[in-house]
Chain A
Amino acid sequence: MLTHILILMVLALALLGFWLGKRKAILAATSLHSLPVHYASYVLLMTILPASLTLAIWSLAEAWLLHDQSLTLSTTNNTLAQTDTALKSIVVIIVAVLSLFFAMQKVSPEFRARNVVEKFILAALMVCAALAILTTVGIVVSMVFETAHFLNLHSWKDFFFGLDWSPNFHGDSALSILPLLWGTLYISCVALLVAVPVGLLSAIYLSEYASSRIRSIAKPLLEVLAGIPTIVYGLFALLTFGPFLRDLFGPEGFFAVGWMSDTRSVATAGIVMGIMLIPFISSLSDDIINAVPQSLRDGSFGLGATQSETIKHVLLPAALPGIVGAILLAASRAIGETMIVVLGAGAIARFTGNPLEALTTVTTRIVSQLTGDGDFNSPETLVAFALGLTLFALTLGLNIFALYYVRKYREQYE
């Protein structure tokens, strides 16, 4: 018997239980504790759960056992598996029928089916929440393992404190994160320098000055901008903005200064990334500023303050924790951003302060280390996990700091 037929049979039994439970509850009639549908759901759940649990455990055990045996006993395996499946089906059906019977026994007017169903719902919600958290933990754990593997093969001193990034295939690569981190932070700073003032001021304009007509046009437009895939921004950086910058600062450019040799540079990637972050910051800040109670604005106007005084002295201080949170979120997006820097920033790992020179970032190096056809067990490939984990730690730290800051600020003013 195939597993999905088995599942269908259990479901059919459960539906039967639903119907039986409802009928029994309705027939009992004398002042039920719960609605008939609660008794019905109770029987349904009680039929499904033990059976599916049995099925799941059996299948897991089976897969595990077969995996061990398959190497040695491939011929006898087939018959063994068949008897096994038949046995499994019978056991599961018996479990389902028994639990259906048992649940039906419990259906009586005093039985608090409603509370039990409520507990089931709670449990289901908790399982989902736990699943989300466990997945994250799982990802981190796998990253940690691969990173440990890498650090076994490569000196941690070089990774954290070296000054060179030059992977090669002779096995003596210099793989230091510092030049990459420099590129990441430099480009992110440029992006934030563009995005924070523009985004914040546009949010102030939209929430405090714009008429409702302008607002109703501009706000959706900004949100559309936030939905553009980053690869499109990357193309814009590579094909339009980079050449434009070179036309200004290149050797044959408008200013004839020769500060820029390539179209790819810190400024190319940073400014385009800043443009990408503008709607992110302005949309969040706009919501935050709008959430400042109207009574504070009234209070300030009522004392004879002008609009800009009100914004500067009352609204912004009140909205500050939220705005700082928005900026830190934008910073973690900038640090983790990949496509724009892959296309716009270049591939040279070095420490340079000139924003018109090419640099490379942590994310671009992760991409390039994993997209080659290198040996998956070489330090040159495994370094990607160490880079990824460091990046993760960085953004995590940023988010924790944002939360801590916001909470401290709130405590002060609540």
Chain B
Amino acid sequence: MNENIISHEELAMTAPTIKISARNVDVHYDKTHAIRGVSAEIPSNSVTAFIGPSGCGKSTFLRCLNRMNDTIKNCQVSGDIMLDGEDIYDPKVDPVQLRAKVGMVFQKPNPFPKSIYDNVAYGPRIHGLARDKSDLDGIVEQALRRAAIWGEVKDRLSAPGTGLSGGQQQRVCIARAIATAPEVLLMDEPCSALDPIATAQIEELIDELRQNYSVVIVTHSMHQAARISQKTAFFHMGTLVEFGDTKTVFTNPRDPQTESYITGRIG
């Protein structure tokens, strides 16, 4: 019901190009109805934040956007999700290729037990993005630079990625996702394991990434959502309660639930 209102109004206000549009998405884990009829449109070249209490389905919905839920055996997704107007759940679409286009960064830094270089080169290698060694070197360097970690690791590219600090690991993971040249970057609480300094670095990075990608970020920090996102979606118990410009959602929320959640956390 309210989803329709949201999409029309918000479209009229900002009118950016739509990167991902979801319509009436439902997700079930066996008997748990985790997402109930969610419709949302995620614009390109902007940061969209998903907020909401724990267990409300933020991660579940995020994982629908690159079909990561396919890897969970008891997870059932229905509804339409379009990426650039193409249904990503169409049987013709290869989820493996989709995930190369829609990259993902996880809550816990999860570098592979390989060298830093091999971590970042992982995606380009399996997708054949580099013509030769020097090309690959270039891709790796550029990804590490954009993830704001090049300076810290350029002398130890062959050291294991698992030997870095948590914040450095997370930035390597972001570099790894960027190196695959995705169009959309999904981030599930990317800063929850990090200290304030590393968090600030990553927030700055996300703001830069917005130039080239659509970024969707799940966060528990209202401050973070308010600081870095242009759009905010508030989930509650599997439904999308409110979705709009971050400013509007935070200063003048339409729904009383949104207001109580935001004020409960902030002030």
* Co-assembled chains A and B: yes
Instruction: Point out residues on A near B: beta carbons under 8 Å.
Output: 211-212, 293, 295-306, 309, 313-314, 317-318, 412-414
Are the CB atoms of B114 and A317 closer together than 8 Å? Answer: yes
> Contacts A299-B106, A302-B66, A304-B127 given; 4 further ones with Cβ under 8 A?
A299-B176, A302-B106, A305-B126, A306-B126
Are the CB atoms of B114 and A303 closer together than 8 Å? Answer: no
Chain B residues contacting A293 (CB-CB under 8 Å) are 110
Are the CB atoms of B108 and A303 closer together than 8 Å? Answer: no
Chain B residues contacting A296 (CB-CB under 8 Å) are 110, 112-113
Q: Does B177 contact A (CB under 8 A)?
A: yes
The list of the 8 closest CB pairs from A to B, nearest first, reads A304-B100, A302-B104, A295-B110, A304-B99, A413-B113, A299-B110, A303-B123, A318-B113
Q: Does B4 contact A (CB under 8 A)?
A: no
Are the CB atoms of B108 and A295 closer together than 8 Å? Answer: yes
Chain A residues contacting B114 (CB-CB under 8 Å) are 317
Chain B residues contacting A313 (CB-CB under 8 Å) are 112, 122, 126
Chain B residues contacting A413 (CB-CB under 8 Å) are 113, 160, 162
Are the CB atoms of B112 and A318 closer together than 8 Å? Answer: yes
Chain A residues contacting B163 (CB-CB under 8 Å) are 414
Are the CB atoms of A301 and B126 closer together than 8 Å? Answer: no
Q: Does B44 contact A (CB under 8 A)?
A: no
Question: Whole-angstrom distance from the CB of B119 to the nearest CB of chain A?
Answer: 9
Please report the C-alpha to C-alpha distance between residue A293 and residue B122 in the assembled complex, in whole angstroms: 18
Which of B71, B73, B104, B112 is the one whose CB lies under 8 Å from A212?
Answer: B73
Chain A residues contacting B106 (CB-CB under 8 Å) are 295, 298-299, 302
Are the CB atoms of A414 and B68 closer together than 8 Å? Answer: no
Please report the C-alpha to C-alpha distance between residue A412 and residue B73 in the assembled complex, in whole angstroms: 33
Q: Does B180 contact A (CB under 8 A)?
A: yes
Chain B residues numbered 161-193 whose CB sits less than 8 Å from any CB in chain A: 162-163, 173, 176-177, 180
Chain A residues contacting B98 (CB-CB under 8 Å) are 304
Given contacts A298-B68, A298-B71, A313-B122, contact A304 B96 (CB under 8 A): yes
Please report the C-alpha to C-alpha distance between residue A413 and residue B162 in the assembled complex, in whole angstroms: 6
Question: Whole-angstrom distance from the CB of A334 to the nearest CB of chain B?
Answer: 29
Pick 25 A–B contacts, CB within 8 A, sort by A. Answer: A211-B73, A212-B73, A295-B110, A296-B113, A298-B104, A298-B110, A299-B111, A299-B112, A300-B122, A301-B68, A301-B71, A302-B99, A302-B106, A303-B123, A303-B126, A303-B176, A303-B177, A304-B97, A304-B98, A304-B100, A304-B101, A317-B112, A317-B113, A413-B162, A414-B162
Chain B residues contacting A211 (CB-CB under 8 Å) are 73
Are the CB atoms of B71 and A303 closer together than 8 Å? Answer: no
Please report the C-alpha to C-alpha distance between residue A337 and residue B101 in the assembled complex, in whole angstroms: 53
Chain B residues contacting A302 (CB-CB under 8 Å) are 66, 68, 99, 103-106, 177
Question: Whole-angstrom distance from the CB of B104 to the nearest CB of chain A?
Answer: 4
Are the CB atoms of A304 and B160 closer together than 8 Å? Answer: no
Give the nearest-CB partner of A414 in chain B. B162
Question: Whole-angstrom distance from the CB of B151 to the nearest CB of chain A?
Answer: 24
Are the CB atoms of B122 and A303 closer together than 8 Å? Answer: yes
Chain B residues contacting A414 (CB-CB under 8 Å) are 162-163
Give the nearest-CB partner of B122 in chain A. A303
Please report the C-alpha to C-alpha distance between residue A305 and residue B112 in the assembled complex, in whole angstroms: 13
Give the nearest-CB partner of A313 in chain B. B122
Given contacts A297-B71, A301-B71, A304-B127, contact A412 B122 (CB under 8 A): no
Please report the C-alpha to C-alpha distance between residue A313 and residue B124 in the assembled complex, in whole angstroms: 13
Question: Whole-angstrom distance from the CB of B1 to the nearest CB of chain A?
Answer: 33
Chain A residues contacting B110 (CB-CB under 8 Å) are 293, 295-296, 298-299
Give the nearest-CB partner of A321 in chain B. B113
Please report the C-alpha to C-alpha distance between residue A301 and residue B177 in the assembled complex, in whole angstroms: 11
Please report the C-alpha to C-alpha distance between residue A306 and residue B98 in the assembled complex, in whole angstroms: 11
Give the nearest-CB partner of B159 in chain A. A412
Question: Whole-angstrom distance from the CB of A412 to the nearest CB of chain B?
Answer: 6
Give the nearest-CB partner of B118 in chain A. A313
Question: Whole-angstrom distance from the CB of A16 to the nearest CB of chain B?
Answer: 58
Are the CB atoms of A306 and B96 closer together than 8 Å? Answer: yes
Chain B residues contacting A301 (CB-CB under 8 Å) are 68, 71, 99
Chain B residues contacting A317 (CB-CB under 8 Å) are 112-114
Give the nearest-CB partner of B100 in chain A. A304
Please report the C-alpha to C-alpha distance between residue A317 and residue B113 in the assembled complex, in whole angstroms: 7
Chain A residues contacting B100 (CB-CB under 8 Å) are 303-304
Please report the C-alpha to C-alpha distance between residue A314 and residue B173 in the assembled complex, in whole angstroms: 14
Please report the C-alpha to C-alpha distance between residue A212 and residue B126 in the assembled complex, in whole angstroms: 29
Please report the C-alpha to C-alpha distance between residue A293 and residue B110 in the assembled complex, in whole angstroms: 9
Are the CB atoms of B99 and A303 closer together than 8 Å? Answer: yes
Chain B residues numbered 88-138 whose CB sits less than 8 Å from any CB in chain A: 96-101, 103-106, 108, 110-114, 122-123, 126-127
Give the nearest-CB partner of B111 in chain A. A299
Give the nearest-CB partner of B71 in chain A. A301
Question: Whole-angstrom distance from the CB of A297 to the nearest CB of chain B?
Answer: 7
Are the CB atoms of B123 and A304 closer together than 8 Å? Answer: yes
Chain A residues contacting B126 (CB-CB under 8 Å) are 303-306, 309, 313
Please report the C-alpha to C-alpha distance between residue A277 and residue B123 in the assembled complex, in whole angstroms: 37
Question: Whole-angstrom distance from the CB of A298 to the nearest CB of chain B?
Answer: 6
Are the CB atoms of B96 and A305 closer together than 8 Å? Answer: yes
Which of B101, B112, B162 is the one whose CB lies under 8 Å from A300?
Answer: B112
Q: Which of B71, B163, B176 has the most CB of A within 10 A?
A: B71
Contact with A along B26-51 (1 / 0, CB 8 A): 00000000000000000000000000
Chain A residues contacting B127 (CB-CB under 8 Å) are 304
Chain B residues contacting A305 (CB-CB under 8 Å) are 96, 122-123, 126
Chain A residues contacting B96 (CB-CB under 8 Å) are 304-306
Question: Whole-angstrom distance from the CB of A393 to the nearest CB of chain B?
Answer: 33
Are the CB atoms of B180 and A303 closer together than 8 Å? Answer: yes
Give the nearest-CB partner of B109 in chain A. A295
Give the nearest-CB partner of A304 in chain B. B100
Give the nearest-CB partner of B173 in chain A. A299
